[in-house]
Amino acid sequence: MRFKILHENTGRMRLQADARSMTIAQADLLEAWLLAQSGVDYVQVHERTCGVIVCYHGERKAVCSALAAFSYSKAEATLPPVAHSSRAMNREYKEKLVFLILRHYAKRLFLPFPIRAALNILYSIPRIYRAIKTLAQGKLTVDVLDGVAIGVSLLTGDFSTAGSVRFLLKLGETMEEWTHKRSVDDLAKRMALQVDQVWLLKEDGTQVSVPLQQIRPGDRIMVHTGNVIPVDGILDQEDVLLNQASLTGESVPVAKRLGAAVYAGSVVEEGNCVLRVTGSAGESRYDRIVQMIEDSERLKSGVENRAVNLADKLVPWCLGESLLTWILTGNTTRAISVLMVDFSCALKLSMPISVLSAMREAGKHKITVKGGKYLEKISQADTVIFDKTGTLTRACPTVCEVRAFHGEDPDEMLRIAACLEEHFPHSVAAAVVREAKIRGLDHSEMHSEVEYVVAHGIATKIGKARVVIGSRHYVFEDEKVQILPEDQQVFDSLSGSCSWLYLAVDGTLSAAIGILDPLRQEAKAALKALHAAGIKKTVMLTGDNYQTAAAVARELSLDDFRAEVLPEDKAAYIRSEHEAGRTVVMIGDGINDTPALSLADVGIAVGSGAVIAREVADVTIAAENLFELVYLKKLSDLLMNRIHRNYRFVMGFNGTLIVLGALGILAPSVSALLHNISTLLLTMDCMTDLAEDKT
């Protein structure tokens, strides 16, 4: 396909495709093709006009080459199927709105009055029936207000007003539904799994790391302990323990037996999960996320629930004001004008849209927030607790030294360590694997099933020998590993400037691997900014030794720290903070952080850390920069300010409309129009980025 550049700025192109039209599928395919190119940040394809907008930060030549190389057949062959597109939904709602407006005005222009009156009565029956049904259930909601307004208009022979009111209500409902679905769809895409590679089991039993998009139904894949299941499937080997909290809300892991169905989004807590794939990557997971966002009351913030309750409580007052207006004036039109205005629509729509918009905006900064209540809690937070490794320190620790004992080869010891650590996506494990790769060491599978002991280490067997690697506490106290007398002097000389992993074979210390974990350059400034944003206490909890932890705490001017702590110690510290009346945010990246992440008011996981930590956490950040936390705190504060401002606007503006309607200044159709316009404008304002909201 050929493209013509219509307009161009630095980092942005507006193009015209050489085609008369595109189908929705073709537009999605072109968009996916361009987004897959290196350096491309944003793509928008207009299928009706065949226009394309591309924003990029890479080389212009690369973008032009990608455009020149594009063809539908090539894109279909190289790209995974586009699972979810909002294009079809947007077209559906645009057509609905156009048809609704054309039909309304066509009837007014071309149909005689008797036919219009009959149609108004016919089309009004569902709303009047809904109002009667709601009243019969003992409820007073906005449905009752709408039904009464339309019914009274029909009884007084004002068919034009009834038709206009019904049209405006339908128009507002359609736009509200579209707005909500767009927000949910955008958020769900950002919350969908981002798994790139999986372990494919070949027929000879070996494992090969392949891109997820190459996996097809019928393939067998291995998901190791601590990792997320990326596709639906059937358990094909042994029993496993799965954490399904992100899908079902169950806090207790569930045992799955051979032949049981397992679902994308579950996390393997114990065992290695071998499954036969039954579903496409991401499909069912996306659908469940949408359902979770739409239905899960536990994700709603307190202000959202208060808005809903207030809106329902105001309905009887609106009905009473309308009745009082009719009693005092005897004017039915004025009474209907009051009925046309309610607080329910604006309050019930603007609050959740504000929250969804804030969650979407956070997603633009690579921050995933799983529910509005967590943004509210972050706004209220006064205490932030950090894990050290991968959070306050760089997400990429490095191996600074490998010491071998009793004549062992350091490279061989590092090779064994990398073989064990490659199954566990922790920053320290990644450092060991990376160092082995730098040294050109092949660390293909040589061991039996790996046993991971949370916050301690790893154990397995190589041949008949038991091999363990982990912390000092795990290796020397739990495993009772011995140091040979001739190695004691070397062991005592190990530097205190770095952390050490200990590798032992058959109960004897064989190697020590030094891990250098430098602080993030922005850590001190970010912590200072958190204090300026309203955080009163910053704390570090780490399993590292006291000397290293104390040095970090001094360097960063932390308010408190604890060293050599176990997962249960972190949880106990958070309980003590709760007892002191503090609202706690916990930030961590490892499997050992999951109890604390679950217990905190808001658990924040680092995106590069363990998958189970991300699944348990309420918020996930990319952790490319600690100022993401500062941004999240400010975003939460801005969201609360917007919600409170919306309260004031809704009460003030709609209250004014009620007074003007009661005084006869506004006709019912005008009241309804102004009410709907204000609701839609408020909703559109709620969809704008909060970072630009300076009021």
Give the pLDDT confidence score for residue 180 in this predicted structure. Answer: 65
Average pLDDT, the chain: 80
Indicate the burial class of 407 (C-beta count within 10 angstroms; 0-12, 13-18, 19 or more).
exposed
Q: Are residues 544 and 511 in the same domain?
A: no
Q: Are residues 379 and 487 in the same domain?
A: no
Give the pLDDT confidence score for residue 447 in this predicted structure. Answer: 55
The residue-averaged pLDDT of 145-152 equals: 77
The CATH number covering residue 216 comes to 2.70.150.10
Q: Are residues 564 and 539 in the same domain?
A: yes
Give domain status of residue 630, yes or no.
no
Give the pLDDT confidence score for residue 350 in this predicted structure. Answer: 73
Please write the tens of the pLDDT for every residue from 95-135: 888 898 898 888 888 889 889 889 888 988 988 898 898 88
DSSP 3-state of 621 = strand
Cα separation, 219 vs 447, whole angstroms: 24
Contacts of 22 (CB under 8 A, 6+ apart): 30, 45, 47, 48, 50
At 537, is the pLDDT very low, low, confident or very high (cuts 50, 70, 90)? very high
Choose the weakest-confidence range: 135-139, 407-411, 476-480.
135-139
Instruction: Check whether 379 has a pLDDT greater than 80.
Output: yes
The CATH number covering residue 411 comes to 3.40.1110.10
Give the pLDDT confidence score for residue 280 in this predicted structure. Answer: 59
Any idea of the CA torsion for 386, 390, 394, 398, to the nearest 10 degrees? 140
DSSP 3-state of 105 = helix
β-partners of residue 454 are: none
Give domain status of residue 651, yes or no.
yes
Q: Are residues 182 and 307 in the same domain?
A: yes
CA dist 82 to 72, 154, 365, 520, Å? 13, 49, 23, 38
In SS3 terms, 63-99 reads as HHHHHHHCCHHHHHHHCCCCCCCCHHHHHHHHHHHHH
Number of domains in the chain: 5
Give the pLDDT confidence score for residue 446 in this predicted structure. Answer: 63
Residue count of the chain, please give it: 695
The residue-averaged pLDDT of 545-567 equals: 85
Instruction: Check whether 382 has a pLDDT greater than 90.
Output: yes
Give domain status of residue 266, yes or no.
yes
CA dist 295 to 128, 289, 346, 618, 634, Å? 27, 10, 20, 17, 27
Choose the weakest-confidence range: 116-125, 128-137, 168-177, 481-490.
168-177
Cα separation, 43 vs 61, whole angstroms: 17
The CATH number covering residue 537 comes to 3.40.50.1000
DSSP 3-state of 52 = strand
Q: Are residues 407 and 495 in the same domain?
A: yes
Cα separation, 481 vs 474, whole angstroms: 9
Give me Rg for the CA atoms of the chain. Answer: 31
Q: Are residues 528 and 619 in the same domain?
A: yes
Instruction: Check whether 156 has a pLDDT greater than 50.
Output: yes
More confident residue, 504 or 644: 504
Cα separation, 472 vs 461, whole angstroms: 20
Give the pLDDT confidence score for residue 548 in this predicted structure. Answer: 77
CA dist 62 to 57, 75, 147, 288, 505, Å? 11, 17, 60, 37, 51
Q: Are residues 160 and 202 in the same domain?
A: no
Position 160: which residue type?
S
Find the helix packing angle between 159-191 and 668-686, rounded to 10°: 10
Q: Are residues 386 and 403 in the same domain?
A: no
Q: Are residues 483 and 524 in the same domain?
A: no
Give domain status of residue 456, yes or no.
yes
Give the pLDDT confidence score for residue 695 in this predicted structure. Answer: 40
The CATH number covering residue 48 comes to 3.30.70.100
Contacts of the segment 49-53: beta carbons below 8 A, 24+ positions apart: 50/16, 50/17, 50/19, 50/20, 50/21, 50/22, 51/6, 51/14, 51/15, 51/16, 51/17, 52/3, 52/13, 52/14, 52/15, 52/16, 52/17, 53/12, 53/13, 53/14, 53/15
Read off φ and ψ for residue 423, nearest 5 degrees. -85, -5
Cα separation, 91 vs 9, whole angstroms: 29
Tokens of 441: 């060491």
Please write the tens of the pLDDT for every residue from 235-256: 887 778 887 655 554 545 778 8
Please write the tens of the pLDDT for every residue from 303-323: 666 666 666 677 777 778 778
The last residue of a domain, from among 79, 103, 135: 79
- Candidates 413, 383, 380; CA nearest to 399 is 413
Return the ∠ at Cα 644 (arms to 659 and 320), rounded to 5°: 30
Q: Are residues 388 and 529 in the same domain?
A: yes
Give domain status of residue 631, yes or no.
no
Instruction: Check whether 694 has a pLDDT greater than 60.
Output: no
Instruction: Check whether 4 has a pLDDT greater than 70.
Output: yes
Give domain status of residue 337, yes or no.
yes
Contacts of 608 (CB under 8 A, 6+ apart): 390, 395, 425, 427, 589, 622, 623
- Which range marks the domain in which residue 215 is found? 197-281
- 649: number of Cβ within 10 Å: 16
β-partners of residue 254 are: 242
Please write the tens of the pLDDT for every residue from 442-472: 766 665 567 766 556 788 888 888 899 988 8
- The residue written with tokens 């801005």 in the block is 638
Contacts of 496 (CB under 8 A, 6+ apart): 545, 547, 548
Q: Are residues 409 and 504 in the same domain?
A: yes
Q: What is the reported pTM?
A: 0.60
Give domain status of residue 361, yes or no.
no
The last residue of a domain, from among 79, 112, 143: 79
Output DSSP code: residue 691. G
Give domain status of residue 629, yes or no.
no
The residue-averaged pLDDT of 541-565 equals: 85
Give the pLDDT confidence score for residue 345 in this predicted structure. Answer: 64
* DSSP string for 339-369: HT--SHHHHHHHHHHHHHHHHHHHHHTTEEE
Give the pLDDT confidence score for residue 488 in this predicted structure. Answer: 92
More confident residue, 206 or 248: 206
Instruction: Check whether 145 has a pLDDT greater than 50.
Output: yes
Cα separation, 588 vs 188, whole angstroms: 23
Specify the pairing of strand 602-606 against strand 584-588: parallel
The last residue of a domain, from among 516, 547, 575: 516
Cα separation, 613 vs 615, whole angstroms: 5
Please write the tens of the pLDDT for every residue from 607-650: 666 666 666 778 888 766 788 899 999 999 999 888 888 888 88
Give the pLDDT confidence score for residue 411 in this predicted structure. Answer: 92
Cα separation, 682 vs 354, whole angstroms: 10
Q: Are residues 242 and 325 in the same domain?
A: no
Cα separation, 458 vs 471, whole angstroms: 10
Output DSSP code: residue 675. H
